[in-house]
């Protein structure tokens, strides 16, 4: 069976609980993973993929240095690379050092949402569909040819965590389906239409405050979903700083917590985390205030 060098921690979105379905699928299908490369170590809490690799006696290297990675490739002689959320640029010298290049599992329907935050972007824009692409890594960001794509519907019940899990699991299945053909050089490649490409932007904490005076209620509902975990969605409610974890749009308020938005509709707060407290429903939060 082919030897694989694996890049990345599978954390395909920010602020989610990362899992390892792609890494697991390769192991379950008897591929030999000769090394796991992570750009940095998570010293506070190891990544799940870090623990999984060590449990399977797979060497783990924490580096983004090109010379070090080329040395690892020279020592392990992989047939192909697989990448899922490496978060660092891979230079051409590394791509060319691996006989069959590197295959990237990217959580969007490329060429839409190239870049680092495709899952967040799909939620933020209120898309009805998200997707995942199995593609060949090239020098330009997320611009390589695709081997397979799959779609996932986004519903009112979809969360950032659930969408991540659906896409990671689907990406794992698609990879296992196409990998034999890629290795045999028989898998058809579909070139991306660069004229249709859209690009995502990184998230930062400056996005946290929900701006009810300038955005519609539905726009803020999308922000609450997209920013779950990081950078989070913040409001001051009844004098307390709170993180909003679930909300919906309505024509009328349900409680005194609900916020009138720029479109005349209300952001109805369903669940929240008051500062220095535990997650709770809006009803529990209000009951707590009454009992103070």
- Residue 286, pLDDT score: 92
In this predicted structure, the answer to whether residue 290 has a pLDDT above a threshold of 90 is no
How far is residue 88's CA from residue 246's CA, in Å, rounded to a whole number? 32
User: Sign of the C-alpha dihedral, residues 15, 46, 170, 5?
Assistant: positive
- Residue 270, pLDDT score: 97
How far is residue 142's CA from residue 238's CA, in Å, rounded to a whole number? 45
How far is residue 220's CA from residue 248's CA, in Å, rounded to a whole number? 9
Query: Which phi and psi (to 5°) does residue 182 adopt?
Result: -65, -45
Average pLDDT, integer, range 144-165:
97
Lowest-pLDDT range of 30-44, 122-136, 193-207, 264-278: 30-44
Question: What does pTM read for this prediction?
Answer: 0.95
User: What is the rounded average pLDDT for all residues in the chain?
Assistant: 96
Average pLDDT, integer, range 84-101:
96
Percent helix, strand and coil across the chain, each to the nearest 5: 30, 25, 45
User: Sign of the C-alpha dihedral, residues 120, 53, 71, 74?
Assistant: negative
In this predicted structure, the answer to whether residue 291 has a pLDDT above a threshold of 80 is no
- Residue 13, pLDDT score: 97
Position 209 confidence tier, pLDDT thresholds 50, 70, 90: very high
User: Sign of the C-alpha dihedral, residues 254, 259, 260, 263?
Assistant: negative
In this predicted structure, the answer to whether residue 42 has a pLDDT above a threshold of 90 is no
């Amino acid at each position: 069976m082919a030897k694989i060098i694996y890049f990345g921690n599978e954390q395909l979105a920010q602020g989610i609980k990362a899992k390892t379905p792609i890494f697991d699928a390769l192991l379950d299908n008897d591929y030999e993973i000769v090394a796991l490369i992570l750009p940095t170590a998570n010293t506070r809490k190891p990544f799940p993929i870090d623990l999984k690799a060590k449990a399977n006696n797979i060497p783990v290297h924490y580096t983004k240095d090109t010379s070090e990675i080329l040395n690892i490739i020279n020592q392990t002689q992989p047939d192909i690379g697989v990448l899922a959320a490496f978060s660092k640029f891979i230079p051409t010298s590394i791509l060319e050092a691996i006989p069959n290049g590197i295959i990237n599992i990217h959580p969007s329907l490329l060429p839409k949402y190239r870049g680092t935050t495709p899952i967040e972007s799909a939620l933020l824009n209120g898309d009805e569909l998200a997707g995942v692409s199995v593609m060949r890594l090239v020098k330009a960001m997320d611009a390589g040819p695709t081997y397979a794509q799959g779609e996932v519907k986004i519903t009112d019940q979809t969360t950032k965590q659930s969408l991540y899990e659906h896409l990671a699991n689907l990406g794992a299945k698609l990879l296992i389906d196409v990998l034999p053909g890629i290795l045999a050089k028989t898998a058809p490649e579909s070139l991306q239409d660069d004229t249709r490409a859209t690009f995502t932007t990184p998230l930062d904490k400056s996005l946290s405050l929900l701006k009810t005076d300038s955005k519609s209620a539905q726009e803020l509902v999308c922000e609450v979903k997209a920013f779950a975990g990081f950078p989070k969605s913040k409001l001051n409610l009844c004098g307390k700083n709170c993180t909003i974890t679930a909300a919906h749009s309505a024509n009328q308020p349900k409680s005194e917590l609900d916020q009138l938005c720029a479109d005349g509709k209300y952001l109805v707060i369903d669940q929240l985390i008051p500062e220095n407290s535990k997650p709770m429903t809006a009803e529990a939060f209000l009951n707590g205030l009454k009992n103070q």
